[in-house]
Chains A and B, each alone.
Chain A
Amino acid sequence: MQATPPPNASQVLSRDEARTLTTRVLSFSTADQTRVNVTHERTGNTRFADGGITTSGGTIDTTVTVTVTVGRRRASASTNVLDDASLKRTVDLASRLARLAPEDPELMPELGPQTYPAVDAFVEGTAELDAEARAEAIGRAVSAATAAGKSAGDIFAAGYLEANARAIAVATSKGLFAYHRTTDADFSVTARTPDGTGSGWAHAGARDWGAVDPVAIGRVAAQKAVASRSPQEIAPGLYTAVLEPQAVTDLIPLLAGALSARSADEGRSAFSKSGGGTRIGEKVADERVTLYSDPTDSGLRGQPFDFEGLPVRRMVWIEKGILRNLAYTRFWAEKQGKQPTGPALAGGLALVGGTKSTEELIAGCSRGVLVTHFFYIRALDPRTVLQTGLTRDGAFLIENGRITRPLKNFRWNESPLLMLNRLEDIGRPEPTAAGRLMPALRVRDFNFTSLSDAV
């Protein structure tokens, strides 16, 4: 028997269809405990360069992962073929592997029925963004880039537009059933000037495609490209940096690893207390900073449960600079006598504490570097959350509250956590991507370590 295909091209697996599918899979298992995770996804993407589309594609897929527990042994197997024979084969494979697996000393029993907060994260307009609609949006962005870049000649615009609609479900042999559906869209444009020295970038991402403005993205990318022509070198070093909300979005979610309670308890994270334990209750950031995850927040609309079906609730990680909570897995929570939280960023991530615009942060800067976004970030030291990366597509010198000239890009070494202790000012939280609310920040002594030839 095949799962009934959804009737409408924009639809994803419904709650009833997900329940039917998971019930069918569970019926094939005779193991002590079984869990079924289902992801049904409709994705569409279009790449473009030099004013034309280079690739366009999409996928429709349903992945079923079966996790079987025998005693304290557990294993998983996945398939995307949904006929009974394939599902049975997947259950059998997981069962055989579970019997072969060593006992898991950290194994937690599967969960029974749970209650979840209601999260409406599915937007029809995003799910309906087909190839034609994507091409139309790209056309508008490219036209806007061409017009905005005219003074520099023929602007070269390239980019990527992606829209996803997804339904996820978790069911266990103990009666748990969880279902959630969500959409997201991401659109970025990189613009280059014909002389090859200017590059600009702009991006928007949201659950609701209606919140993405292709014309603004094309225009801003081209304006930055024109403004960043013939960049000049300044010596690497510690500079005040104004990070646009997109640059902050590149850095702040990298705190996720540090938010693991186990890493902190085991002395491996920036939130480990010297001598043992965690830094919960200590000041870890500027007192204006509050960092939280909340699937029910209308600006985040995150996932209300994790892969085990554990409810994900509002978690305030840092409140007015004080570390309040860390993320506990079910195993670690039981061991430490805490409440399990699930993964740190399942409920999205918001950094709040300011009200100003990026322009006001620039206006308040006597001398500094404006950063459009970061590129190719890699971790250096988990104990300080130290990262390295590049500025890209528009770094500018700020003097006396105004942008005065384009700068050659930098490589930098900086920690998003230590940086939150050197804030001069905080902007208002802005929706930068699905599940992200991030402000612009003005950071003192941002560590730009060397020059980069990249534009």
Chain B
Amino acid sequence: MRDGKIVGMLKDVAYQANTLTFWKSMDLIGGKGSYWMGGAFNDGKGEPSQINSVSHGCVPARFRNVNILNTARSA
């Protein structure tokens, strides 16, 4: 993102944090207008394998000072 706009897609990105530190760093959270129902139509488990649709609704949130890793870079 640059100047409040999505300008391109990144690859080889991961983030790493302590759970408590990460959630404490949140300074903005979306509301009703930005709620998004995501999920998968083909979550499968078991023997014999059985498939279910699963949903996961959430809002976007902003986090500060997150440790972002370049997973393609070797040490």
Chain A residues in the interface with B (C-beta under 8 A): 45, 59, 61, 63, 78, 80, 100-102, 160, 162, 186, 188, 375-376
Contacts and interface: CB of A to CB of B under 8 A. Distances in A.
B41 A376 contact: no
A102 B41 contact: no
Nearest to B7: A100
Contacts of B11: 102
Contacts of B14: none
A102 B47 contact: no
B28 interface: no
A101 B47 CA distance: 37
B33 interface: no
A63 B9 contact: no
B67 interface: no
B49 to A, nearest CB: 10
Contacts of A45: 50
The prevalent SS among residues of A at the interface is strand
Given A59-B53, A102-B9, 15 more contacts: A45-B50, A61-B41, A63-B41, A78-B41, A80-B53, A100-B6, A100-B8, A100-B9, A101-B9, A102-B11, A160-B50, A162-B48, A188-B48, A375-B47, A376-B47
Contacts of B9: 100-102
A45 B44 CA distance: 14
B41 A160 contact: no
A375 B48 CA distance: 10
A430 B34 CA distance: 54
A186 B41 contact: no
Contacts of A63: 41
B11 to A, nearest CB: 7
Given A59-B53, A100-B9, A80 B41 contact: yes
Interface residues of B, number: 9
A188 B48 CA distance: 8
B29 to A, nearest CB: 22
B41 to A, nearest CB: 5
Interface in B5-62: 6, 8-9, 11, 41, 47-48, 50, 53
9 A-B pairs with least C-beta separation: A100-B9, A63-B41, A160-B48, A102-B9, A101-B9, A188-B48, A186-B48, A100-B6, A375-B47
> Secondary structure at chain B's binding surface: helix, strand, loop or mixed?
loop
Nearest to A39: B41
A56 to B, nearest CB: 13
Nearest to A63: B41
A162 B11 CA distance: 40
A80 B53 CA distance: 11
Contacts of A188: 48
17 contacts: A61-B41, A61-B53, A63-B41, A78-B41, A80-B41, A80-B53, A100-B6, A100-B8, A100-B9, A101-B9, A102-B9, A102-B11, A160-B50, A162-B48, A162-B50, A188-B48, A375-B47
Contacts of A375: 47
A162 B9 CA distance: 41
A375 B47 CA distance: 8
B47 to A, nearest CB: 7
B51 to A, nearest CB: 8
Nearest to B51: A43
B3 to A, nearest CB: 16
Contacts of B53: 59, 61, 80
